[in-house]
Structures are given as structure tokens and as C-alpha cells.
Amino acid sequence: MTVTPPRGFDPAKTAKALTPFKIMAFVVGVGLLVLVAEMWMAYGMGMSKEENPLGWWPGPHGFIYMIYLAATANLGFAARWSLPKMVGVMLAGCVPFLSFYVERRVAKQVEAHLAAAGGEQTPTGVNVVH
């Protein structure tokens, strides 16, 4: 199956934007699992903010999620995604475990577009031109 990058696809910008997206998708995925644990302690176990060892986490998690949104937008604009796709990838960061799945799927697709555009993304993140 031949993969054709979208019109206006910029391999250099896309390759540069892929690594921060992968990192932030992982960080947000882990952060969301910590947030679920915090919410379970707060609402399921009835712990107050002072009793809850993770009571401090919602604020930093929200900030980290905003960085994830920026990384996703950066990759989406570079890879020439449609707005619905970009919003869908952003919303994947709101569902526990889904961000891990979507990150792998998106990275595989972007790496295929990079390879089709004349360069191949290696595991080290170096763009190799054939």
C-alpha cells in the first residue's frame, strides 16, 4: 500500500514536531492515570485535599495537558491534518489509556508520510534521506 503525504506536507517541520508530541502524549497519559488515582482517593475514598497524597496533582496536570495541546497542534499543522483529526487527537489525552494508543497510531502514520516524502524516521529521531 502506497502512502501519500498530504499536499503541503513539510517533512522537516513534521519530523521536528513528532518527538515533542510523542513525549507529551506519554507524559499526559501517565499524568491522566495519576489524576484518576487522585480522583478515586478524593471521591471514592472521601479523602479531603489535605489527606489525599495526590491532592496537589490536578493543577499541574492541567498545565501539562495544555503543553500536550500545543505539541499536538504543532504536529497537526506541520503534518497538514484536518481540524477534526487534530481535535480528535487532542481529546484522546482526556481518556485514560487512549493517549498511548493514539500516540502509537499517529506516530506510525506520520513516520509513513515522512518515509514517503523521501526521508525515513529512525528510532533515534534522525531523518535519513535515501
pLDDT tens per residue across span 51-88? 999 999 999 999 999 999 999 999 999 999 999 999 99
| Confidence at 36, pLDDT banded by 50, 70, 90 | very high
- Which residue type does 102 have? V
- Range of lowest pLDDT (50-59, 82-91, 109-118, 120-129): 120-129
Half-sphere exposure in the Cβ direction for 95 (13 Å, CA)? 11
| Confidence at 7, pLDDT banded by 50, 70, 90 | confident
Report how far apart, in Å, the C-alpha atoms of 3 and of each of 112, 113, 120 are.
7, 6, 13
60: alpha, beta or left, given left = phi > 0 and alpha = psi -120 to 50? alpha
Domain range annotation of the chain: 11-119
Indicate whether 128 pLDDT > 80: no
